[in-house]
C-alpha cells in the first residue's frame, strides 16, 4: 500500500516537472514574440497554455484522490498539500507568460518594446526562464541547494524591474502613456513569474528540511 502511494507521489512530481518544462518554453517563446514582434509565435504561446491548465487539473484530481483514499502520514500529507500549491504556482506562471505573449500580439506589427528597453526586457525574460528551469530541477530532485540558490536569484529580477521604472518615469521618456503601461505590466509579469518560482523553492526546502525559509526583505 505504501509503495503504491509513493508511486503516486512520484507520478505527481513527474507531472509538475512536465508543467515546469512547458512554462519554461512559454516564457522563452513569449519573450521572443515580444522582442521580435512575432504574432505567430505569440499565438503559439497563448494556445499552449491549455496544456498547462490540463496538467494542473490532472495533478489536482490525483492529489485529491490520494487525500481521500489513503491515510497519509504527516510528511506525506505535507507533500500532497505542497503539490496542490505548487501546481497553482505553475499554472499562474503559465498565465503570466501568456500575458506577455498577448501584449506582443496586441501591438503587432509594431514592437511593444522601445529600443532603449530591449536589453532589459530580454534580460528579465532570461532570468525568468532560468528560474523556471531551476524550479523543474529542484522539484525533480528535491534539491535544497538549488532551491536556496533560486531564492537568492530573485534579487536580480527585482533590480531589473526597478531599472524599468527609472526609465519609464524619467522626464525624457518619449514613448507615451500606452507604452509606459505596457512596460509596467511586463515588469510586473516577469517579477511575478520569479515570485512564484521562489514560492515553489521555499516549499521544497520546507518539505526536505522541515524548516521554513526566512523571507528576504
CATH of the domain at 124: 1.20.58.220
The Cα–Cα gap between 154 and 216 comes to: 10
207-to-77, 139, 203, 210, 213 alpha-carbon distances in Å: 10, 11, 6, 6, 11
- Is 214 among the domain residues? no
- Is 197 among the domain residues? yes
* Contact call for residues 214 and 148 (beta carbons, < 8 A): no
Which domain does 108 fall in, by range?
2-209
pLDDT digits (tens, 9 = 90+) for 117-153: 999 999 999 999 999 999 999 999 999 999 999 988 8
- Is 174 among the domain residues? yes
170: alpha, beta or left? (left if phi > 0; alpha if psi -120 to 50): beta
Q: At what angle do helices 118-141 and 144-168 cross, to 10 degrees?
A: 160
Q: Tell me the mean pLDDT in the region 108-124.
A: 95
- Is 35 among the domain residues? yes
The Cα–Cα gap between 5 and 134 comes to: 27
pLDDT digits (tens, 9 = 90+) for 78-99: 889 999 999 999 999 999 999 9
- Is 134 among the domain residues? yes
| pLDDT score of 15 more than 70 | yes
Dihedral of CA 161/182/121/189: which sign? positive
- Is 215 among the domain residues? no
| pLDDT score of 64 more than 50 | yes
Q: How many domains does the chain have?
A: 1
Amino acid at each position: 500500500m505504501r509503495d503504491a502511494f509513493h508511486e503516486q507521489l512520484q507520478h505527481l512530481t513527474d507531472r509538475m516537472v512536465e508543467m515546469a518544462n512547458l512554462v519554461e518554453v512559454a516564457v522563452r517563446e513569449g519573450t521572443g514574440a515580444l522582442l521580435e514582434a512575432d504574432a505567430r509565435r505569440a499565438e503559439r504561446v497563448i494556445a499552449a497554455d491549455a496544456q498547462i491548465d490540463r496538467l494542473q487539473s490532472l495533478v489536482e484530481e490525483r492529489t485529491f484522490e490520494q487525500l481521500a483514499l489513503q491515510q497519509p502520514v504527516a510528511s506525506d500529507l505535507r507533500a500532497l498539500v505542497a503539490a496542490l500549491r505548487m501546481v497553482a504556482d505553475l499554472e499562474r506562471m503559465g498565465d503570466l507568460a501568456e500575458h506577455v505573449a498577448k501584449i506582443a500580439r496586441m501591438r503587432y506589427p509594431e514592437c511593444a518594446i522601445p529600443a532603449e528597453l530591449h536589453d532589459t526586457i530580454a534580460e528579465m525574460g532570461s532570468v525568468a526562464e532560468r528560474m523556471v528551469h531551476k524550479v523543474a530541477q529542484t522539484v525533480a530532485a528535491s534539491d535544497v541547494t538549488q532551491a536556496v540558490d533560486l531564492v537568492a536569484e530573485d534579487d536580480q529580477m527585482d533590480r531589473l524591474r526597478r531599472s524599468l521604472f527609472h526609465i519609464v518615469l524619467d522626464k525624457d521618456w518619449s514613448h507615451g502613456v500606452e507604452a509606459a503601461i505596457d512596460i509596467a505590466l511586463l515588469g510586473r509579469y516577469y517579477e511575478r513569474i520569479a515570485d512564484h518560482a521562489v514560492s515553489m523553492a521555499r516549499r521544497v526546502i520546507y518539505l526536505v528540511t522541515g524548516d521554513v525559509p526566512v523571507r528576504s526583505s
